[in-house]
């Protein structure tokens, strides 16, 4: 299949710029993948579609305030650094702007010198290796100086940075939010648990792949950036028990889906495991673990809409997206949601 097969025309005004006041008041399209039938509900109605014995799988990764604004020394020219991956010993793989003006050896300064850095390496894809210098705990310095790395299509500053975190975020490490989970409130999760649905947490740290467009004409020529994911023993047991009793595995977001499909055994069961995954799911893929998916509406020609098409079917997916545009759904990170059953 060609990348352009996954194009749809999206009016700019449908790209959500801010989150709704209530997380769970967003709209919810329910897509039945066997028939292509659609229902139009609200996210708090998700409770009607989850059944006792199901297992809801959530990504508990927490977004780092990984966008640093500073300047280059000694010219005082502006620089923006996006932290992507911790390489250890204070060295991070970063996206730097302007990239051409941050060659190896460039000295950087942030927050009136509270945090300084040196570009110590360049990678094949243009990213830089940056050595940071600071006193104390790096994450605490980031909390003071860093900003949320909002996607480029969101042009407004976020008043409350916690709105770009899920209410269950726990493990620091992502460069972008696992946005399907932004719709859940603690109260809604409690109601889901009370209904007899088990809740399991995986971790996948969302990385550069979220920001990278598919440039290849043929989708099979696209290479995914690796991201770290893990499943602990308790989560493995919870998912296995749900499968063995005939419950559905309901993934919240493409990150949860990619984690399960990367770490599942041949029969769809799990053990405690961690790995770097570059799994690329597109039509023709056979799912081993996931039975239902909760996800947002994704960018045209993105790997995420390709994953949705692999699960719901290409025709059903594109029809659902055209319907969402016609029905004026809100798109992307702060937008509305889709439940695929």
Per-residue H/E/C for 35-63: CCCEEEEEHHHHHHCCCCCCEEEEECEEE
Residue 266 neighbours by CB under 8 Å, 6+ apart: 288
Q: What is the pLDDT of residue 211?
A: 62
Q: What is the pLDDT of residue 141?
A: 95
CA nearest neighbour of 6 among 318, 222, 218: 318
Of the two residues 85 and 221, the one the predictor is more confident about is 221
What's the average model confidence in pLDDT over 308-325?
98
- Cβ–Cβ < 8 Å for 163, 22: no
- Cβ–Cβ < 8 Å for 228, 84: no
| CA dist., res. 183 & res. 28, Å (int) | 10
pLDDT in tens, 129-164: 999 999 999 999 999 999 998 888 898 888 899 999
CA nearest neighbour of 61 among 252, 214, 236, 226: 252
pLDDT in tens, 105-129: 999 999 999 999 999 999 988 899 9
Q: What is the pLDDT of residue 213?
A: 82
Whether the pLDDT of residue 210 is over 70: the answer is no
The full length of the chain comes to 341
User: Per DSSP, what are the bridge partners of residue 116?
Assistant: 109, 133
pLDDT in tens, 86-99: 999 999 999 999 99
| CA dist., res. 51 & res. 306, Å (int) | 27
- Cβ–Cβ < 8 Å for 47, 185: no
Give how far the C-alpha of residue 201 lies from the chain's centroid of Cα atoms, to the nearest Å: 14
Q: For the chain, what is the largest distance between any 2 Cα atoms, rounded to a whole number of angstroms?
A: 64
- CA dihedral sign of residues 327, 333, 337, 338: positive
Preceding peptide of 334 cis, ω within 30°: no
What's the average model confidence in pLDDT over 289-308?
97
CA nearest neighbour of 340 among 300, 277, 304, 291: 291
User: Angle at Cα 340 formed by Cα 280 and Cα 293, nearest 5°?
Assistant: 50
DSSP result, 144-169:
HH-B----TT--SPPS-GGGGS-TT-
Whether the pLDDT of residue 315 is over 90: the answer is yes
Of the two residues 20 and 210, the one the predictor is more confident about is 20
Residue 155 neighbours by CB under 8 Å, 6+ apart: 17
- CA dihedral sign of residues 171, 28, 209, 12: negative
Q: What is the pLDDT of residue 304?
A: 96
What is the model's pTM? 0.93
- Cβ–Cβ < 8 Å for 293, 28: no
User: Per DSSP, what are the bridge partners of residue 121?
Assistant: 129
């Amino acid at each position: 299949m060609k990348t352009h097969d996954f194009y749809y025309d999206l009016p700019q005004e449908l790209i959500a710029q801010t989150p709704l006041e209530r997380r769970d008041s967003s709209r919810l399209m329910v897509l039945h993948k066997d028939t292509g039938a659609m229902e139009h509900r609200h996210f708090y109605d998700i409770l009607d579609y989850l059944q006792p014995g199901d297992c809801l799988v959530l990504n508990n990764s927490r977004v780092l305030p990984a966008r640093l604004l500073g300047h280059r020394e000694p010219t005082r020219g502006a620089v923006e650094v996006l932290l992507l991956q911790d390489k250890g010993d204070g060295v991070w793989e970063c996206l730097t702007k302007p990239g051409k003006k941050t060659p190896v050896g460039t000295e950087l300064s942030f927050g009136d010198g509270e945090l300084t850095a040196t570009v110590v390496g360049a990678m094949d894809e243009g990213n830089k290796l940056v050595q940071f210098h600071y006193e104390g705990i790096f994450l605490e310095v980031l909390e003071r100086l860093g900003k949320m790395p909002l996607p480029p299509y969101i042009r407004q500053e976020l008043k409350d940075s916690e709105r770009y975190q899920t209410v269950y975020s726990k493990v620091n490490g992502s460069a972008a939010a696992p946005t399907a989970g932004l719709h859940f409130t603690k109260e809604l999760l409690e109601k889901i648990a009370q209904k007899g649905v088990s809740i399991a947490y995986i971790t996948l740290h969302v990385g550069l792949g979220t920001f990278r467009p598919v440039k290849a004409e043929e989708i099979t020529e696209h290479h995914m950036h690796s991201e770290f994911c893990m499943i602990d023993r308790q989560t493995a047991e919870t998912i296995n028990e749900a499968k063995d009793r005939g419950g559905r595995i309901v993934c919240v977001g493409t990150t949860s889906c990619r984690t399960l499909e990367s770490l599942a055994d041949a029969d769809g069961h799990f053990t405690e495991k961690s790995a770097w995954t570059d799994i690329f799911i597109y039509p023709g893929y056979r799912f081993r673990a996931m039975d239902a998916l909760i996800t947002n509406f994704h960018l045209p020609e993105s790997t995420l809409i390709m994953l949705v098409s692999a699960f719901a079917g290409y025709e059903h997916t594109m029809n659902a997206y055209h319907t969402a545009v016609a029905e004026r759904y809100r798109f992307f990170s702060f937008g509305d949601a889709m439940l695929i059953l």
